[in-house]
Structure 1
Amino acid sequence: MYEIAIIGAGASGLMLASHIKNKKVCIIEANNKIAQKIKISGGAKCNITNNLVSCDNYLANKEFVKEILKNYTNHQLLDFLNSNGVFPKVNPKLVKGTYFCKSSQDVIDMFTKLTTHVKKYLNTKVIDLFYEDDIFIIQTSNSKIKAKKVVVASGGLSYASLNASSIAYDIAKKFGHNITKLDPALVGFTVQKEQFWFKKLSGLSIMVKAKVENKSFYGSLLFAHKGCSGPVILNSSLYWKKGKIVFDFLPKQNYKNLLKSNALISSRLPLPKRFVQEFLNSINIIDKPCSSLTKQELQALSVIHNYEFSPAGNFGYTKAEVTKGGVCTDEIDVNSMESLKQKNLYFLGECLDVTGELGGYNFQFAFSSAMKCLNNL
């Protein structure tokens, strides 16, 4: 019998386990190694937190997130990492304020050392969870495991190749929790017929400003063979519902000032010529000397600052970095992460209805929610 059983050896589960002392603890993990999502994150450099973390960077109940982040800040996380030989540094190349590690393996090695006291059941999938006589019985693919307390930290549906599953949501529903609508997030968009020209630019990236719902993002837009991706798109996908996204392809310049010339349009616009030519084709304007543009053509070109785009859909969970939606936070005690429906049952990290933007925000929430739970176990 374990005092605490943790389902999932990801960021939140490992953070919690590494801090629990003098208790009999186990981790149950579907993969044959711990921290497999950490391993691939940030291009294998683990974008572990952000210098600009606030509750505004999350699609969630803001007060819930604010309380958890306040309890364990990005500065406390960095102190913890530094004290264990991991020294992330800010690299704003992709997203402003993001801390990257030298290698994701450094984080994995750290957690491996810090959890030597924890029994690990690897290659073990959780099938079901029962509660009988004040004891949890965890039915796994290999055996039954008993525990007084269970912490669900198994993540969401993204990365099926890493054994992602719905088990966190299945357990939550079994014990009476509501699950808000699940969707892939931090993911690329597929396009409708009007934007098929995006596909012709596959592999090209440009800096744009994107407006979606009530949010704006500045960053790299990557054209892909399925549609579009890149940091600015991944962040937009978090907030997009069914409406339009507006791109400013020249966010730091005025197109009219650039077109006061006899040169070709493609020579005057400070964008890749491939992009300019496809963009012009999409609005039925030929590449010609700027001085020969009619008033109507100049007006048509203004769309370069507010190009409206309605995604057809997204690339799905296989390409999504996280899952949007999850266990309703109104049913979780913000002071302990304990279920308000079932005593001694806790939920951490991505399986909750809290989703952060790209740039280390989801790892920060995972670690912070673990420490909030630790304070009350």
Structure 2
Amino acid sequence: MNHKIIIIGGGASALMLASLLPKDTAAIIESNPKPGAKILVSGGGKCNITNTHMGTEYFLGDAGFIQQPLKQFSEKALLQWLERQDLHPVLRKERQYFCKDSAKEILEIFLKESRKQKLYAEETVLDVTKRGRLFYVKTNKSTHTAKAVVVASGGLSYPKLGASGIGYQIAESFGHTVVKTAPALVGFTVQKEQFFFKALSGVSTEVRIHVGEHVCEGALLFAHKGISGPAVLDASLYWEKGKMEIDFLPHFSWNSVKGSKKQISSLLPLPKRVSKAFLLEFGLEDKPFYQLAEGELKVLKTLSRYSLAPAGTFGYSKAEVTKGGVKTSEVDSDTMMSRLEEGLYFVGEVLDVTGRLGGYNFQWAFSSAYSCAKSL
């Protein structure tokens, strides 16, 4: 089957691209029965579309590369585009834009807009080759040809929703470098020293996490397998291996409680179960704060700089995104076209660009798709 453009994948970047291209110019090849499966589960089913604070500092990747697409199609331009489609995202947590009721709202817009293109659902791409000026896209059902191929296949996170490494395989087959991939925006498993965390499963507390030169603030959720929550997911973006430091008392001043007669577990601005678990772990008695000996106080103060070396992460099945991917120095940031193969494009998560929590990865998907559409 002959096409002008083939889009491999049916996620956020693929659907935005298909929506922006003129009618009958592209074919979408999607392995799932319907496109947009990952959109529906994102942001707790409400889809965190973008953020009022947008910039390269919220991404892991080459800032120079990321800047261009974000400039070409900013969060403001995205919101204006959605308004024209009669979608009015709501602002939550002061800076994050979500669908009003459900992620179905944005998916329905994409499905409506992308109907301009041909969709091949439940078709899995096996291989892409090029002979002369034509690309041959082999699937489990047929072979498609086109003058341009856009790899919008995403990463390895959410394998149950059809995620696969096909985008990386295609990139490598055309000589591209794939930066080592890993689960990101994901919880951490812990070493035996932190097994006591498991008894706190379901409890949440505000923290500040230091990972190398990066600082991530927000909630930490104790989970049966380790730790999760927004601050932890953000920290996973920057963690490779080794230690990180958690401040369990980010807005607390030790001087403000000097000489207090209150019980330690009542005094610390932590859920009581958390305070008591740490006291037990530290071998400290829950007593009036003023009765703490100097050595005991020193041990307690480690709550402000608690050192932890995760055993690993919860893996791709629980990761919101994949970090690593197609090396961006080998892709033109103006057009998203490969610098190594004319007519081959990469957009969205398959590239070595990963955003923090808060709508950054969707914005990247949409911005990179816009740059690609403009070029095509």
TM-score band by shorter chain is over 0.9
One-letter amino acid of the counterpart of residue 321, structure 1:
E
Q: Aligned partners of 1:24, 1:234: CA distance in 2, in Å? A: 39
1:349 maps onto 2:343 in alignment = no
* Aligned position for 1:29: 30
* Aligned position for 1:74: 75
1:3 maps onto 2:4 in alignment = yes
Q: Aligned partners of 2:23, 2:197: CA distance in 1, in Å? A: 57
* Aligned position for 1:301: 300
Q: Aligned partners of 1:218, 1:324: CA distance in 2, in Å? A: 20
The Cα shift of 1:256 comes to 4.2
One-letter amino acid of the counterpart of residue 10, structure 2:
A
* Aligned position for 1:185: 184
One-letter amino acid of the counterpart of residue 47, structure 1:
N
1:294-333 → structure 2 map (5 Å cutoff)? 294-333=293-332
1:89 maps onto 2:79 in alignment = no
Identity of aligned residues (%): 48
The Cα shift of 1:46 comes to 0.3
1:1-377 → structure 2 map (5 Å cutoff)? 1-92=2-93, 97-102=95-100, 103-258=102-257, 260-377=259-376
Q: Aligned partners of 1:330, 1:218: CA distance in 2, in Å? A: 31
5+ residue gaps, structure 2: none
The Cα shift of 1:273 comes to 1.1
Q: Aligned partners of 1:334, 1:262: CA distance in 2, in Å? A: 61
Deviates more, 1:210-219 or 1:312-321: 210-219
The Cα shift of 1:214 comes to 0.8
Q: 1:4·1:147 contact (CA, 8 Å) conserved in 2?
A: yes
The Cα shift of 1:267 comes to 1.6
Q: 2:185·2:321 contact (CA, 8 Å) conserved in 1?
A: yes
Q: 1:324·1:354 contact (CA, 8 Å) conserved in 2?
A: yes
Report the 3-state secondary structure (helix = DSSP H, G, I; strand = E; otherwise coil) of the residue aligned with 1:9. coil
The Cα shift of 1:9 comes to 1.1
Q: 1:259·1:268 contact (CA, 8 Å) conserved in 2?
A: no
Q: Aligned partners of 1:256, 1:250: CA distance in 2, in Å? A: 13
Q: Aligned partners of 1:171, 1:38: CA distance in 2, in Å? A: 24
Q: Aligned partners of 2:68, 2:259: CA distance in 1, in Å? A: 53
One-letter amino acid of the counterpart of residue 203, structure 2:
L
* Cα 1:108–1:16 shift into 2, 3 Å: same
Q: 2:23·2:116 contact (CA, 8 Å) conserved in 1?
A: no
5+ residue gaps, structure 1: none
Q: Aligned partners of 1:131, 1:123: CA distance in 2, in Å? A: 23
The Cα shift of 1:287 comes to 1.0
Q: Aligned partners of 1:121, 1:363: CA distance in 2, in Å? A: 23
Q: Aligned partners of 1:163, 1:320: CA distance in 2, in Å? A: 14
One-letter amino acid of the counterpart of residue 296, structure 1:
G
Q: Deviations over 1:315-339 (max 9, x none)?
A: 0000000001000001001111001
Q: Aligned partners of 2:286, 2:52: CA distance in 1, in Å? A: 43
Moved runs in structure 1, 4+ residues, more than 3 A? none
The Cα shift of 1:23 comes to 4.4
Q: Aligned partners of 1:271, 1:133: CA distance in 2, in Å? A: 65
The Cα shift of 1:89 comes to 1.5
Q: 1:30·1:125 contact (CA, 8 Å) conserved in 2?
A: yes
Q: Aligned partners of 2:258, 2:194: CA distance in 1, in Å? A: 25
The Cα shift of 1:263 comes to 2.4
Q: Deviations over 1:268-326 (max 9, x none)?
A: 11211110011112222121121221011111111111111110100000000000100
One-letter amino acid of the counterpart of residue 264, structure 1:
Q
Q: 1:260·1:290 contact (CA, 8 Å) conserved in 2?
A: yes
Q: Aligned partners of 2:207, 2:116: CA distance in 1, in Å? A: 49
TM-score between the two structures when normalised by the length of structure 1: 0.97
One-letter amino acid of the counterpart of residue 208, structure 1:
V
The Cα shift of 1:243 comes to 2.7
Q: Deviations over 1:113-168 (max 9, x none)?
A: 11122110001110101111211111111111111110000100000001100000
Report the 3-state secondary structure (helix = DSSP H, G, I; strand = E; otherwise coil) of the residue aligned with 2:68. helix
Q: 1:7·1:154 contact (CA, 8 Å) conserved in 2?
A: yes
Report the 3-state secondary structure (helix = DSSP H, G, I; strand = E; otherwise coil) of the residue aligned with 1:78. helix
